[in-house]
Amino acid sequence: MKLRSDNLRKTYGFDEISLSPSSIKTVDPNLCNVSSTLASYKLKTPLMASAMDGVVSPKSAIELGKQGVLAVLNLHGLWTKYEDAESRLKEIAEAKDNEFVSLMQKLYTAPIKENLIGQRISEIKQGNVPVAVSSIPQDALKFESLIYLAGADFLFVQSTVTSLEHIGSGESLDIAKLCNKSKMPIIIGNCVTYNVALELMKTGVSAILVGIGPGAACTSRGVLGIGVPMATTIMDCVDARDQYFHETGKRIAIIADGGIINSGDVCKSIACGADFAMLGSLFAKAQGAPGSGYHWGMATPSPVLPRGTRVKVGTIGTYEQLIHGPAALDNGFHNIIGALKTSMGTLGAKDILEMQKTEVIIAQSILTEGKVYQSAQKLGMGSRS
Amino acid sequence: MKLRSDNLRKTYGFDEISLSPSSIKTVDPNLCNVSSTLASYKLKTPLMASAMDGVVSPKSAIELGKQGVLAVLNLHGLWTKYEDAESRLKEIAEAKDNEFVSLMQKLYTAPIKENLIGQRISEIKQGNVPVAVSSIPQDALKFESLIYLAGADFLFVQSTVTSLEHIGSGESLDIAKLCNKSKMPIIIGNCVTYNVALELMKTGVSAILVGIGPGAACTSRGVLGIGVPMATTIMDCVDARDQYFHETGKRIAIIADGGIINSGDVCKSIACGADFAMLGSLFAKAQGAPGSGYHWGMATPSPVLPRGTRVKVGTIGTYEQLIHGPAALDNGFHNIIGALKTSMGTLGAKDILEMQKTEVIIAQSILTEGKVYQSAQKLGMGSRS
Amino acid sequence: MKLRSDNLRKTYGFDEISLSPSSIKTVDPNLCNVSSTLASYKLKTPLMASAMDGVVSPKSAIELGKQGVLAVLNLHGLWTKYEDAESRLKEIAEAKDNEFVSLMQKLYTAPIKENLIGQRISEIKQGNVPVAVSSIPQDALKFESLIYLAGADFLFVQSTVTSLEHIGSGESLDIAKLCNKSKMPIIIGNCVTYNVALELMKTGVSAILVGIGPGAACTSRGVLGIGVPMATTIMDCVDARDQYFHETGKRIAIIADGGIINSGDVCKSIACGADFAMLGSLFAKAQGAPGSGYHWGMATPSPVLPRGTRVKVGTIGTYEQLIHGPAALDNGFHNIIGALKTSMGTLGAKDILEMQKTEVIIAQSILTEGKVYQSAQKLGMGSRS
Amino acid sequence: MKLRSDNLRKTYGFDEISLSPSSIKTVDPNLCNVSSTLASYKLKTPLMASAMDGVVSPKSAIELGKQGVLAVLNLHGLWTKYEDAESRLKEIAEAKDNEFVSLMQKLYTAPIKENLIGQRISEIKQGNVPVAVSSIPQDALKFESLIYLAGADFLFVQSTVTSLEHIGSGESLDIAKLCNKSKMPIIIGNCVTYNVALELMKTGVSAILVGIGPGAACTSRGVLGIGVPMATTIMDCVDARDQYFHETGKRIAIIADGGIINSGDVCKSIACGADFAMLGSLFAKAQGAPGSGYHWGMATPSPVLPRGTRVKVGTIGTYEQLIHGPAALDNGFHNIIGALKTSMGTLGAKDILEMQKTEVIIAQSILTEGKVYQSAQKLGMGSRS
């Protein structure tokens, strides 16, 4: 008798895998090339910063861009709702615990001022860095021209779970139409499975965000029961990318998005096959990060079902320290790129393409300080505002 | 050489599984239909409240019913033993730790007053909600007419482990005879395996309660060594339901009963194939719950082998908040139905039947606040009366 | 390429398994027969008490025997080294932490007074209970007549690991010769594997003790790297018993010895196929236990490599409460036999032979209070003398 | 569809395995022969001490050597950079937390004084013990003659990950050339896989150090994502050794290096097939250890990516106590050789070759005090300087 319970698939998260140096070759880290390709753009590093208000503002997007990180500005957050978004961010950082949820609900129900979309893009553009913005699917077609004309280089279209077919009020986004119409590369997400990734690739997108439910500032798994461990989900979507490339010769970038806590997770993401790793909470810890030491997950908190929480993450160093070092911490929070290069050199990978072929093994998790700290916070045992 | 130890079956609990959004479709949560079918009744939600004195009283049954939850009143608890059950509940809530066990033994050894059975049913009936009551197998045939005539809609017949054959003193319940005789749908439980579920279905019952040993206020596993993780046991009994439907065309409802702590577990129960999820401790936390912030597991504590414990669960919100929100907590204790609809929409399931076909994966557990809190309580590290 | 690491066997401990009620039958616990057979003796319960000085004295052997438990007196402990063993036990209980190791080394290096062997056996005999004593292999042949003539019913021959061949100084025990010579049933142990169990059975022993390294007051695994999880080891030796029975028609009893913390573990031991479960630390917690609330593991502590530790276990009830209840605790420390009968009834097993055929499943461990308490103690977080 | 995530290899660490006494033979521990062979040398024990400044100084090398342990002096540490290395060690032990990283960076960037290489070797030589020193690959050929002429018996060539081909600035070490040229046995490492081990053996080395990333004073896994659990990596390299022996008749020694915390881990290393077990943190705990109760992992801390941390390990006994007992602790920190002999005797292994054939099983980890203590330290919960 074939029982369903005996045929469940085992999946793996970052903490359950490790990288094995199985090559007879090593490379001087200084020679390791960490550039990665998004559409026709060669970006300096495989790092991205999440479209969250505590992580990316126009000013921090410039600073991150100068360090080689593609920062994505959320077009449905405070920066397009308020002229003086800075003051709103300050309000959030200074709110008391019991005021937070209602404050968020108040601030985020304000409408978007369309003129601010162009203005924010221009602000980043003036920093001479690639400009990436994020829209929700419902508004993507409407704002596309405005975004393009303002000078954006990449348009991210993000929802918790991307679908090709949405049953419900309003029209659902025709992704193929958007890709066809837009002169910008379209990046879409999030998704987690081989089949969905493959279907999305056929619409003409340039990259796919993978990851649902493993993030630190997201309680999808507890509240909704939904979540797919990152290592498996990256590998599955990478398998789809390789299959699509095999069939069409087109290479769609895979962006690992969610649950990436430190440099070790960045290394693992790439070794699982991802082209980019998107970080949220770690960049929220930078000096000058828009959240001022706080991080909150959901761009648009539901008025009836809050899933994002404001977490006090603190400030641990400059953007330069976090991204290029030198490191003063040994927990993988500092010098992400230095760690990635050292990992690549140790594993004998001279570039991202070789790093994607590293041997990944299943290994019992060893908790690092950073991870425990975060868990403790999440469980209300650490400091939390 | 074939050794028994090499052929043990691996089973899975809620914390070991997760739901994977593997559909290319999403649904607007507002359009998700959460009604579920019990016998010929279409109930508004797939939620039930356990037949425990700290969870369901006539008054709370009405309040729960108005929120779409089928509350089951225990006919062998305080409400049929005492005219003034409220005072007894107050005694339990106010007892000191060292008085609790003896107080319970005293209160629960009192005999049932048959007139109170009808009276309690009438009290609920006046609330214009479906009326469900629970009897132990030994008394089911005796009280069936009385229960039916008083206006009950559903008769639950519950014991820790349901058997078709009971070796021992007294006559064991002839379930087929009861089903045949009664005009009410008969719901029986609990059981945990494919074979037992299939045998029980053949007796004519309308639904089966599945789950033994995983519950929070039950120490079956430590004391008796018995317990089957919920995800596997639901899936196995659902496999039996589908087989029975395949053979006979009759669909018997599966009710997941035990270890369901928060909305994530409700979502997982349905995704494992259950038609209903029965909650105890979560409803004991409602404002106005009969236990006044306390929860105790066993309806009839054994005088020689106590397995249920009184746990201080506290009060976290109104029935409406718990069931329909809006949520002020992000741990899955508030807005269960909102969470279920959001989960269904995210997974592309427009109704309970589609939700039952969701992909379930094995994923390392991530403890949520609620679960840790409860574990801590259980281990005597949290507050406990 | 076949790598050794890919072919390791997965083994299971009590905390990793659970019992599944997969029968359609239940039995009234009062009708469950818990008697078990050792050689030609039908013992009232399947419980034994370990040959440890903190657990079994002549006086406690009588009390345990009256409750149906076969207590084994260690013939190489304090009772055969000192006329006034009581005072020595008191010294141990009252020693300070830093005095303990040297006190033990002093007390246990004293020689055995042969006259005390007969005397202790007579003392137990006067209680009208079965008399069981334990010798180390080296002395078994020498003392056998003395032990038999004094009236002992069972002779246990125990060492950490039983071998058929011992390379070293002195002569190793010829087990077959001992079995042949003795009119008492010989029980030997400990062992953990199918092959060794099978070889031991061929020597003519009546029972085998199984279990190495899982015990609470034993640090074999940390210090020596040795230890086999109990569920697997019981099942493997039971497979050997059944094979030996199949070949010869003789049924050798399997005694689970080690790591049995509470009634749940007793139930699991029997369900794994054991005929008896031997308890140490739990009986050390009885009122009147020789250790006065303390428990120490090794009968003869090595002067160079101490592995046993004195643990403060406290006193939690009378022998009657622990064995037959009524239970005041819900953690499986009280009413072991009541719990076993309830477990058997729930699983539909009317006697030990049927209980041995219960379905055992692999299930994520749920820590019970008792187990956590003990772990905490072991880790120096609880009270410890 | 074959997905990469479904084909990951499961690997095992020391805490996930255990040794099973599956022999019918036992051996008197006093008769167990623990000598092990390195090149043509028969060493008294299979223990080595890591080439770390907190572990091995010329003085401690002599003391360790007298106890049968081969201590390896790091030729790129303080002893070859400073005449008065003692004072530098004292500085490190007395530095405040916030001074540590910069102090280390300052002290270790000083150049090597070549004259000190010979001097340190002579100092150890005067103790009449085997002399082993460690060089980084870049300097191995340059210093080889100097090292040999000064009287060293073994030359270890160590880097985090050994490669046969290094892409980068400078010339990479031609290991075959070094082996060919040197009259000393060359020991090289570290590596972790079958293939790399096999390739390294072909270069003419006498032994291979196996282990990357599992060590306590190393954060490779968190920062770089790299690390292979020890049990698997030892077994894989041992498989390579046996294959190489099968092909060539030459036996290359396997040295387990990393994550060996206590005597239990030493026993497991040998049972996994290793010829030697190299210990760092445990010997740092000896009275008179160069670190004065502190341990730090990396010989040459990177100025941009610090991965080693200074951990307060305390002082727990003399070298004799740690290595040959008598033990006053029962956590595997004292009397490593006594424990190894007892383990061997229990498992029926009369020498290291027989111990290497022990049955290894997968068993749920039981944390010992020492391990928890260390984890706690690592997580910043214990004392830490």
- The model's pLDDT over C21-66, given as tens digits with 9 standing for 90+, comes to 999 999 999 999 999 999 999 999 999 999 999 999 999 999 999 9
Residue C358, domain CATH: 3.20.20.70
How many C-beta neighbours within 10 Å does residue A63 have? 23
User: Nearest to residue A269, comparing CAs of A78, A48, A66, A72?
Assistant: A48
Report d(CA D238, CA D260) in Å as an integer: 17
Q: Which residue has the higher pLDDT, D83 or D219?
A: D83
* Per-residue pLDDT reduced to its tens digit, A8-66: 999 999 988 999 999 999 999 999 999 999 999 999 999 999 999 999 999 999 999 99
pLDDT at C378 over 60: no
Kindly list the residues from chain C whose CB atom is less than 8 angstroms away from the CB atom of residue B13.
Answer: 363-364
Q: Which residue has the higher pLDDT, D374 or C318?
A: C318
pLDDT at A300 over 60: no
- Per-residue pLDDT, A168: 84
- What distance in Å separates residue D213's CA from the closest CA in chain A? 9
Reported confidence tier of residue B165, pLDDT bands at 50, 70, 90: confident
* Per-residue pLDDT reduced to its tens digit, B236-284: 999 999 999 999 999 999 999 988 999 999 999 999 999 999 999 999 9
pLDDT at D375 over 50: no
pLDDT at D244 over 80: yes
pLDDT at D371 over 50: no
Report d(CA B329, CA B368) in Å as an integer: 12
B179, B218, B237, B267: the catalytic one is B218
User: Nearest to residue C159, comparing CAs of C199, C198, C204, C190?
Assistant: C190
Cβ-Cβ contacts under 8 Å between B and C: the total is 178
- What distance in Å separates residue C238's CA from the closest CA in chain B? 9
Evaluate whether residue C243 is within a structural domain. yes
> Which run of H or E residues covers position B247?
helix B230-248
Contact call for B26 and A166, based on CB within 8 A? yes
Best of B101, B106, B198, B223 to disrupt the C interface (most C CBs within 10 Å) is: B223
- Per-residue pLDDT, A308: 56
Kindly list the residues from chain D whose CB atom is less than 8 angstroms away from the CB atom of residue C302.
Answer: 342
Evaluate whether residue D324 is within a structural domain. yes
Q: Which residue has the higher pLDDT, B78 or D364?
A: B78
- Per-residue pLDDT, B305: 61
pLDDT at C373 over 50: no
| Residue A191 designated active-site | no
Comparing C212-226, D185-199, D370-384, the range with the smallest average pLDDT is: D370-384
CB A148 within 8 A of CB A182: yes
Comparing B263-272, C368-377, D158-167, D314-323, the range with the smallest average pLDDT is: C368-377
The ipTM, to two decimals, is 0.91
The mean per-residue pLDDT over the stretch B193-204 comes to: 97
Structure tokens at C41: 């003796």
Q: Which residue has the higher pLDDT, D215 or C202?
A: C202
Cβ-Cβ contacts under 8 Å for A286 (sequence gap 6 or more): A60, A315, A316, A317, A318, A319, A322
A32, A179, A191, A218: the catalytic one is A218
Question: Which residue in B232, B238, B346 is closest to A224 by CB distance?
Answer: B346
Question: Which residue in C192, C228, C379 is closest to D372 by CB distance?
Answer: C379
Reported confidence tier of residue D301, pLDDT bands at 50, 70, 90: low
Contact call for C26 and B192, based on CB within 8 A? no
How many C-beta neighbours within 10 Å does residue D84 have? 9
Q: Could you tell me whether strands B359-362 and B17-20 are parallel, antiparallel, or unpaired per DSSP bridges?
A: antiparallel
Whole domain around residue D291: which residue ranges?
Answer: 12-378
Reported confidence tier of residue B299, pLDDT bands at 50, 70, 90: very low
Evaluate whether residue D289 is within a structural domain. yes
pLDDT at A374 over 60: no
Evaluate whether residue A3 is within a structural domain. no
- Per-residue pLDDT, C305: 61
- Per-residue pLDDT, D383: 26
- Per-residue pLDDT, D103: 87
* Per-residue pLDDT reduced to its tens digit, C239-259: 999 999 999 999 999 999 988
* pLDDT, averaged across chain C: 89
Cβ-Cβ contacts under 8 Å between C and D: the total is 178
Kindly list the residues from chain D whose CB atom is less than 8 angstroms away from the CB atom of residue C9.
Answer: 361-362
The mean per-residue pLDDT over the stretch A304-320 comes to: 80
Contact call for B167 and C330, based on CB within 8 A? no
pLDDT at C287 over 90: yes
Work out the percent of chain A whose per-residue pLDDT is above 90: 75
Q: Could you tell me whether strands C9-10 and B25-27 are parallel, antiparallel, or unpaired per DSSP bridges?
A: unpaired
Contact call for D223 and A26, based on CB within 8 A? no
Reported confidence tier of residue A367, pLDDT bands at 50, 70, 90: very low
pLDDT at D36 over 90: yes
Q: What is the pTM of this model?
A: 0.93
What is Dmax (Cα atoms) for chain D? 66
- What distance in Å separates residue B167's CA from the closest CA in chain C? 4
The mean per-residue pLDDT over the stretch B97-116 comes to: 88
- What distance in Å separates residue A75's CA from the closest CA in chain B? 22
Q: Which residue has the higher pLDDT, D105 or C187?
A: C187
pLDDT at A305 over 90: no
- What distance in Å separates residue D273's CA from the closest CA in chain C? 10
* Per-residue pLDDT reduced to its tens digit, A71-106: 999 999 999 999 999 999 999 999 988 888 788 878
* pLDDT, averaged across chain D: 89
Contact call for B18 and A221, based on CB within 8 A? yes
Q: Which chains touch D (3 or more CB pairs under 8 A)?
A: A, C
Reported confidence tier of residue B308, pLDDT bands at 50, 70, 90: low
pLDDT at B215 over 90: no
Q: Which residue has the higher pLDDT, D295 or B130?
A: B130
Report d(CA A78, CA A83) in Å as an integer: 9
Report d(CA B301, CA B102) in Å as an integer: 10
The mean per-residue pLDDT over the stretch C373-381 comes to: 33
Number of independent structural domains in chain C: 1
* pLDDT, averaged across chain A: 89
- Per-residue pLDDT, B27: 94
- Per-residue pLDDT, D365: 63
DSSP assignment string, B327-350: -S-SSSSS-HHHHHHHHHHHHT-S
Contact call for B168 and C28, based on CB within 8 A? yes
- Per-residue pLDDT, C302: 59
- Per-residue pLDDT, D184: 97
Reported confidence tier of residue B304, pLDDT bands at 50, 70, 90: low
Work out the percent of chain D whose per-residue pLDDT is above 90: 75
How many C-beta neighbours within 10 Å does residue A90 have? 13
Q: Could you tell me whether strands A294-296 and A310-312 are parallel, antiparallel, or unpaired per DSSP bridges?
A: antiparallel
Q: Is the CA virtual torsion A271, A272, A276, A277 positive or negative?
A: negative
Best of C175, C305, C364, C378 to disrupt the D interface (most D CBs within 10 Å) is: C305
- Per-residue pLDDT, A298: 56
